[in-house]
Structure 1
Amino acid sequence: MAGRASVFSHPEIIRLLAESFVPVADNCGYTQTQQDAKGEFFRLVAEQGHYGGRTKPTATRQGLYACTVEGELLASINTRDADQVLGTLKAGLDRWRQRPASSSPPDIPKAYSPDPRLNWSYPEGGLALKVTVRDLPRESGEADPRHNIDFAWFTRDEARSLIPADPQPGLSCPAPRFFARRIARCHLIDTVRGQSPRWREEDIEKADVTLIVERVTSGHVHLRLEGEVKNEAAPTFDVNPFSERVVDKPRGVDLRLLGYLRFDRQQEAFESFDAVAVGPRWGATTYNARFDDLGPAPIGFAFEVASDDPIDRVPPAAIGSSYFA
Structure 2
Amino acid sequence: MLDRESTFANPQIVKLLQTRFVPVAIDQAYQRRQKDNEGRFYQKIANQGPRKVGRGTTQGLYSADANGRFLGYTNNRGASRVMRMLNGALQKHRPEKVASIAKGKLDARYNPQPPKGGLVVRVTSKILGGYEEPESEWRRIFQTSLGRDNLWIRADEHAALAKGQLPKSLLSRLARYHLVDNTRGEPPMWRENEIKKLEGKITNGQLRASVQLLTANKARGYTAEILGRIESKNGQVTRLDLVAHGQFHGEGTYTRNAPKGKFPLAIAFTLADGKDAADAIPPQGSRGWVPGYIR
1:93–1:185: structure 2 CA closer, same or farther, 3 Å change rule? same
Q: Secondary structure at the match of 2:35?
A: coil
Q: What is the CA-CA distance between 1:275 and the residue it aligns to? A: 0.9
Equivalences for residues 115-154 of structure 1 within 5 A? 116-123=108-115, 125-138=117-130, 144-154=143-153
Match of 2:252 in 1: 285
**2:29 corresponds to which residue?**
29
Instruction: Kindly indicate whether residue 144 of structure 2 is the aligned counterpart of residue 155 of structure 1.
Output: no
Deviation at 1:110, TM superposition (A): 2.7
Number of residue pairs the alignment of both structures matches: 284
Find the counterpart in structure 2 of residue 63 from structure 1: 60
Residues in 2 aligned to 1:16 and 1:140: alpha-carbon distance in whole angstroms: 35
Task: Name 1:219's counterpart in structure 2.
Answer: none
CA contact (8 A) 1:230 1:253 kept: yes
Aligned to 2:197: 206
TM-score (norm 2): 0.87
Equivalent AA in structure 1 for residue 232 of structure 2: F
Q: 1:310 aligns with which of 271, 277, 286?
A: 277
Residue by residue over 1:89-143, the C-alpha shift from the partner in whole angstroms, topping out at 9 and shown as x without a partner, is 12112211xx2634xx3262232231x4334103455321111111123599999
Q: Match for 1:199: what amino acid?
A: W
Deviation at 1:11, TM superposition (A): 1.6
- 199-208 or 124-133: bigger deviation: 124-133
CA distance in 2, matches of 1:95, 1:131: 40
Residues 208-259 of structure 1, C-alpha deviation per residue, up to 9 Å, x if partnerless?
Answer: 121111xxxxxxxxx1010011111236xxxxxxxxxxxxx82111110000
Which amino acid counterpart does residue 114 of structure 2 have in structure 1?
A: Y
* Partner amino acid, structure 2, of 1:129: V
Aligned-partner SS, 2:190: coil
* Displacement after TM superposition at 1:49 (Å): 1.4
Larger % of strand: which?
1
Check the 8 A contact 2:162/2:236 in 1, yes or no.
no
**2:224 corresponds to which residue?**
255
Match of 2:179 among 168, 185, 188: 188
AA partner of residue 74 (structure 1): L
Q: Deviations over 1:242-283 (max 9, x none)?
A: xxxxxxx82111110000122232xx4333211111111112
* Mapping 1:47-86, distance limit 5 Å: 47-52=47-52, 55=55, 59-86=56-83
Which protein has the larger Cα radius of gyration, Structure 1 or Structure 2?
1
- Superposition pairs of residues 67-106 of structure 1, within 5 angstroms: 67-96=64-93, 99=94, 101-102=96-97, 105-106=98-99
2:102 is the alignment partner of 1:109 = yes
| Structure 1: stretches of 5+ with no match in the other structure | 168-172, 214-222, 236-248
Q: Shift of residue 294 of structure 1?
A: 4.0
Structure 1 stretch 43-52 or stretch 223-232: which is displaced more? 43-52
Root-mean-square deviation (CA, aligned residues, Å) is 2.6
- Indicate which of 264, 280, 292 corresponds to 2:233: 264
CA distance in 2, matches of 1:79, 1:53: 19
Q: Contact 1:185 / 1:198 at 8 angstroms: preserved in 2?
A: yes
> Which runs of structure 2 are paired with 1:234-249 in the superposition (5 Å)?
234=216
Q: Distance in 1 between matches of 2:210 and 2:264?
A: 15
Distance 1:12 1:141, change over 3 A: closer
CA distance in 2, matches of 1:133, 1:82: 25
In 1, Cα distance between the equivalents of 2:4 and 2:50?
A: 18
Matched residue, 1:297: 263
TM-aligned CA deviation for residue 147 of structure 1 = 1.7
- CA change 1:123–1:18 in 2 (3 A) is farther
Paired with 1:141 and 1:32, the residues of 2 have a C-alpha distance of 39
Mapped to 1, the partners of 2:53 and 2:157 lie a distance apart of 43
Q: TM-score, normalised by structure 1?
A: 0.79
Structure with greater helix percent: 2
Contact 1:126 1:269 in 2 (8 A): no
Contiguous gaps of at least 5 residues in structure 2: 135-139
CA distance in 2, matches of 1:295, 1:3: 27
